[in-house]
Amino acid sequence: MPRPVLALTSGEPAGIGPELTVMLAAEGVAGVDLVAVGDPDLLAERAERLGLAVEIVPLALDEPLPAPRPGRLPVWPVALRAPAPPGLLQVANADYVLETLDVAVRACLAGRAAGMVTAPLHKGVILEAGHAGFTGHTEYLRDACGVEEVVMMLATDRPLHATREGWRGPGALRVALATTHLPLREVADAISAEGLLRVLRILDADLQRWFGLLAPRIAVCGLNPHAGEGGHLGREELEVIEPALAALRAEGLRLDGPLPADTLFTPRHLEGVDAVLAMYHDQGLPVLKYAGFGSAANITLGLPLVRTSVDHGTALDLAGSGRADPGSLRVAVALAAEMAGRDPIKQR
Ligand SMILES: NC(=O)c1ccc[n+]([C@@H]2O[C@H](COP(=O)([O-])OP(=O)(O)OC[C@H]3O[C@@H](n4cnc5c(N)ncnc54)[C@H](O)[C@@H]3O)[C@@H](O)[C@H]2O)c1
Ligand SMILES: N[C@H](C(=O)O)[C@H](O)COP(=O)(O)O
């Protein structure tokens, strides 16, 4: 089987993305043709700063890739708009970051890459550059691919309580989100039965498609403490979540809940569960990151392409220091390669 080509966008240029990219290139990735998307001079500078011997090979999208070897990094070039010293965000480089995503999407949709892996970007600086409404890769890729709904899911291969096979197997912890990046004040209003139907259908379908989990079992969190305490602590469970789950059960989905989130994330309740749907970002992701920060990956479900990402942000405090841990990037690349090899449906 040919090695999958993966496009690795190097992320916010002032953050740790460029140095993680060259770290990975220096150590090499078995079984994958990794092509960075970013500024070749920036990547060369970060490699030199870290004392890494990395041969940067700029290429046009349609040029053949050189034979992969540790220390060689093919790059689909995108030019920085302004110098990018580590740790110092430049509004002028927001368009550079978005262009790297556009190039990777183009490569995937044209069949040049089997998937994309993204190093972290900085949402704030992209908003400051005038891209109103920007909320992250997830929704940007949804729009770039022309689909209506996507789902953010993080998975870790080292869950705290796992006893078995990691993120590939039944011991994995996978947490998907019903809502992503919005102020907490707006969360309750953003949860609708229609939205839950869309999210859970995508989650169910893509756990099968990308993870090979037939008839996955999904545990759904309530929104309120104790899942609303029978309506005394909020009525969203009774009026929104339960009706949506009932409709989906009638379609054959295997759903538990809505369950109190605090006890759902305990070993006994996670037993046999393939994924948890949390109602909002900080209901689900702190648990996931506590269990596996540094060895987890972020996956966008619902896209016509493979996209994985790291479990962390731009870490401006570490940028340029060489102290950032490339563990999550390794996991994101390995998972993207596995997903690309599994997909039986090339296009939705
Ligand atoms: N995939 C993504 O693009 C992504 C993911 C998360 C956050 N972000 C963005 O990153 C920016 C900064 O977010 P934040 O400060 O909340 O989170 P962060 O992950 O950048 O940093 C949180 C803490 O974790 C540490 N850390 C992060 N990555 C590390 C690594 N690889 N090795 C060692 N330590 C690491 C940092 O030094 C910091 O102390 C924000 O704009 C946020 O939106 C992007
Ligand atoms: N919520 C994600 C996390 O905490 O890791 C993250 O911000 C990434 O979001 P995008 O993949 O949409 O950029």
Residue nearest to atom 34 of ligand 1 (CA): 324
Indicate if 155 and 298 belong to the same structural domain. Answer: yes
Tell me how far apart the alpha carbons of residues 134 and 98 are, in angstroms, rounded to a whole number: 11
∠ CA 92-93-95, nearest 5°, is 95
Indicate if 295 and 308 belong to the same structural domain. Answer: no
From the CA of 85, how far away is ligand 1's center (Å)? 17
From the CA of 83, how far away is ligand 2's center (Å)? 25
Indicate if 288 and 316 belong to the same structural domain. Answer: no
> What three-state secondary structure class fits 57?
strand
From the CA of 309, how far away is ligand 1's center (Å)? 12
Query: Band of the pLDDT at 348, cuts 50, 70, 90?
Result: very low
Q: What is the predicted pLDDT for the residue at 339?
A: 92
Which one of the ligands is nearest to 180 CA? 2
Indicate the average pLDDT of the chain: 93
> Ligand 1: which of 312, 318, 328 to mutate, judged by most atoms within 8 Å of the beta carbon?
312
Give residue-wise pLDDT tens across range 143-182. 999 999 999 999 987 554 444 445 455 558 999 999 999 9
Tell me how far apart the alpha carbons of residues 188 and 236 are, in angstroms, rounded to a whole number: 8
Which one of the ligands is nearest to 317 CA? 1
Pocket of ligand 2 (CB under 6 A): 136-138, 281, 285, 298, 309, 311
> What three-state secondary structure class fits 124?
helix
Indicate if 274 and 156 belong to the same structural domain. Answer: yes
Is 346 annotated as belonging to a binding site? no
Q: Which DSSP string do the residues of 83-96 spell out, in sequence order?
A: ---TT---GGGHHH
Residue 1 pLDDT more than 70? Answer: no
Residue nearest to atom 37 of ligand 1 (CA): 315
Tell me how far apart the alpha carbons of residues 304 and 142 are, in angstroms, rounded to a whole number: 9
Indicate if 277 and 222 belong to the same structural domain. Answer: yes
In this prediction the pTM is 0.95
Residue 29 pLDDT more than 90? Answer: yes
Q: Do the strands 115-118 and 307-310 form a parallel or antiparallel pair, or are they unpaired? A: parallel
**Is the distance from CB of 88 to CB of 21 less than 8 angstroms?**
no
Indicate if 231 and 345 belong to the same structural domain. Answer: no
Residue 102 pLDDT more than 50? Answer: yes
Domain count, the chain: 2
Q: What is the predicted pLDDT for the residue at 169?
A: 53
Q: What is the predicted pLDDT for the residue at 171?
A: 59
From the CA of 156, how far away is ligand 2's center (Å)? 14
Give residue-wise pLDDT tens across range 231-266. 999 999 999 999 999 999 999 999 999 999 999 999
Indicate if 126 and 177 belong to the same structural domain. Answer: no
From the CA of 89, how far away is ligand 1's center (Å)? 14
Region 305-316 average pLDDT? 97
Domain encompassing residue 276: 151-302
Residue nearest to atom 9 of ligand 2 (CA): 136
Residue 346 pLDDT more than 60? Answer: no
Indicate if 155 and 230 belong to the same structural domain. Answer: yes
Q: Which residues are paired to 299 by β-bridges?
A: 153, 308
DSSP state at residue 64? P
Give residue-wise pLDDT tens across range 52-69. 999 999 999 999 999 999
Residue nearest to atom 2 of ligand 2 (CA): 311
Nearest ligand 2 atom, CA 300:
11
Q: What is the predicted pLDDT for the residue at 68?
A: 92
Indicate if 180 and 196 belong to the same structural domain. Answer: yes
Indicate if 29 and 137 belong to the same structural domain. Answer: yes
Region 290-315 average pLDDT? 95
Q: What is the predicted pLDDT for the residue at 176?
A: 98
CATH assignment of the domain containing 297: 3.40.718.10
Query: Band of the pLDDT at 267, cuts 50, 70, 90?
Result: confident
Which one of the ligands is nearest to 140 CA? 2
Which of 81-95, 281-295, 331-345 holds the top average pLDDT?
81-95
Is 93 annotated as belonging to a binding site? no
From the CA of 328, how far away is ligand 2's center (Å)? 13
Indicate if 288 and 310 belong to the same structural domain. Answer: no
Q: What is the predicted pLDDT for the residue at 164?
A: 44
Residue with the larger pLDDT of the pair 2 and 162: 2
**Is the distance from CB of 179 to CB of 279 less than 8 angstroms?**
yes
Final residue of a domain: which of 302, 320, 336? Answer: 302
Is 161 annotated as belonging to a binding site? no
Q: What is the predicted pLDDT for the residue at 158?
A: 55
Q: What is the predicted pLDDT for the residue at 153?
A: 98
Nearest ligand 2 atom, CA 177:
1
Indicate if 103 and 142 belong to the same structural domain. Answer: yes
From the CA of 346, how far away is ligand 2's center (Å)? 25
